[in-house]
């Protein structure tokens, strides 16, 4: 080796060492560690992940993104996505402090998703189900035309294949940037569920942190069975709006899953670790035996009668 090369190599080595020594950015630290919102414990992200995003110390349920949720809930490699090619348009040409298309791009970058919901079919402990999972990190999980359309198509697909539907909600409400068309998605999804329900099929709604506004006031509250995740905040109007309207402080646990359970609004509060088992048991309970299949679904029967007798 030439002496000159040796010096050159030494310089290169030093550069490499310097690169390793560069301290991690805050963002990188945040990716590695997460502080529990409830007990303030510092949690190693990988541990948190393997514990289904639940704090091992205080059982606080962190929000789960749509992709991760699918991974947690369904049998491995059974998920087939539907309608992945749907994307929002800008029907109003909406501009607030920024134009809507730019906000969409921002949301896509932040969540890595095209829209605030992923829909598809998969299996839960071997039982097929149509599943829709909302992602709060994409545009606050807001329901615009695409979310409404994807939910409606999922329900229609499930009706055709006679599968149960499971929808996991997490949303701030309707998407203002699509104006009245967002509001109409409440009608669209509810109407799709009506026809699905009349066919005698099972719909399980899971409410996760947070579920508000137009989503709560449409498909989220229409489940044959409604399950809430521990600590999730669920409601129609936001806490602040209510406090301003009635001019008094609300109880600390107002609008939490446990509060809703106490007030008869949900069937059960299920911990994330038990969610898969619970769903599987519920689907199994509603699978008709051959004998039961001979009986027509109640809804379909009465609707048919009402139509033919008039």
- Residues within the interface to another protein (CB under 8 A): 85-92, 94-97, 145-146, 148-149, 152, 173-176, 178-188, 190-195, 197-198, 213-214, 216-222, 235-237, 241-242, 245-246, 248, 250, 254-255, 263-265, 303, 306-307, 310
Q: Which residue has the tokens 């560690």?
A: 33
Report in angstroms how near the CB of residue 12 gets to another protein at its nearest. Answer: 46
Going by C-alpha positions, the residue among 277, 274, 283 that lies closest to residue 230 is 274
CB-nearer residue toward another protein: 170 or 185? 185
**Cβ atoms of residues 236 and 213 within 8 Å:** yes
* Nearest-angstrom CA–CA distance, 41 and 55: 8
Going by C-alpha positions, the residue among 205, 137, 144 that lies closest to residue 169 is 205
Report in angstroms how near the CB of residue 97 gets to another protein at its nearest. Answer: 6
* Nearest-angstrom CA–CA distance, 17 and 15: 5
CB-nearer residue toward another protein: 4 or 263? 263
CB-nearer residue toward another protein: 195 or 278? 195
Enumerate residues 6+ apart whose C-beta is below 8 A from 286. Answer: 164, 202
Report in angstroms how near the CB of residue 250 gets to another protein at its nearest. Answer: 6
* Nearest-angstrom CA–CA distance, 217 and 237: 10
DSSP summary character for residue 91: T
CB-nearer residue toward another protein: 85 or 289? 85
CB-nearer residue toward another protein: 54 or 107? 107
* Nearest-angstrom CA–CA distance, 270 and 229: 6
Report in angstroms how near the CB of residue 295 gets to another protein at its nearest. Answer: 21
CB-nearer residue toward another protein: 48 or 237? 237
CB-nearer residue toward another protein: 111 or 218? 218
DSSP lists the bridge partners of residue 269 as 228
**Cβ atoms of residues 80 and 122 within 8 Å:** yes
Report in angstroms how near the CB of residue 101 gets to another protein at its nearest. Answer: 11
On the question of a cis peptide bond just before residue 130, with omega within 30 degrees of 0, the verdict is: no
Report in angstroms how near the CB of residue 140 gets to another protein at its nearest. Answer: 10
Report in angstroms how near the CB of residue 30 gets to another protein at its nearest. Answer: 26
DSSP summary character for residue 172: S
Strand-by-strand arrangement of the 225-228 sheet: 80-82, 117-124, 127-134, 165-171, 203-211, 225-228, 268-269
CB-nearer residue toward another protein: 183 or 297? 183
Report in angstroms how near the CB of residue 178 gets to another protein at its nearest. Answer: 7
């Amino acid at each position: 080796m030439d002496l000159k090369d040796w010096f050159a190599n030494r310089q290169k080595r030093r550069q490499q060492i310097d690169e390793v020594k560069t301290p991690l950015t805050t963002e990188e630290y945040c990716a590695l560690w997460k502080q529990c919102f409830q007990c303030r414990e510092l949690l190693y992200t990988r541990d948190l992940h393997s514990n289904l995003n639940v704090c091992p110390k205080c059982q606080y349920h962190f929000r789960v993104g749509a992709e991760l949720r699918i991974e947690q809930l369904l049998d491995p490699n059974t998920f087939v996505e539907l309608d992945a090619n749907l994307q929002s348009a800008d029907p109003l040409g909406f501009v607030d402090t920024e134009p809507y298309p730019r906000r969409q791009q921002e949301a896509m970058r932040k969540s890595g998703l095209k829209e605030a919901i992923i829909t598809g079919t998969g299996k839960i402990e071997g039982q097929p189900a149509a599943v829709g999972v909302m992602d709060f990190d994409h545009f606050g999980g807001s329901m615009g035309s695409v979310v409404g359309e994807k939910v409606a198509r999922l329900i229609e697909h499930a009706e055709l294949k006679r599968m149960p539907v499971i929808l996991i909600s997490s949303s701030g409400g309707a998407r203002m940037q699509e104006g009245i068309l967002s509001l109409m998605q409440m009608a669209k999804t509810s109407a799709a569920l009506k026809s699905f329900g009349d066919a005698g099929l099972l719909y399980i709604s899971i409410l996760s942190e947070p579920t508000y506004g137009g989503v709560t006031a449409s498909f989220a509250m229409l489940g044959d069975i409604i399950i809430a995740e521990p600590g999730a905040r669920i409601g129609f109007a936001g806490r602040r709006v209510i406090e301003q309207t009635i001019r008094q402080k609300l109880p600390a646990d107002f609008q939490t899953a446990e509060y809703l359970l106490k007030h008869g609004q949900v069937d059960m509060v299920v911990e994330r670790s038990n969610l898969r088992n619970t769903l599987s048991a519920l689907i199994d309970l509603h699978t008709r035996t051959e004998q039961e299949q001979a009986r027509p679904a109640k809804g379909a029967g009465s609707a048919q009668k009402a139509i033919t007798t008039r």
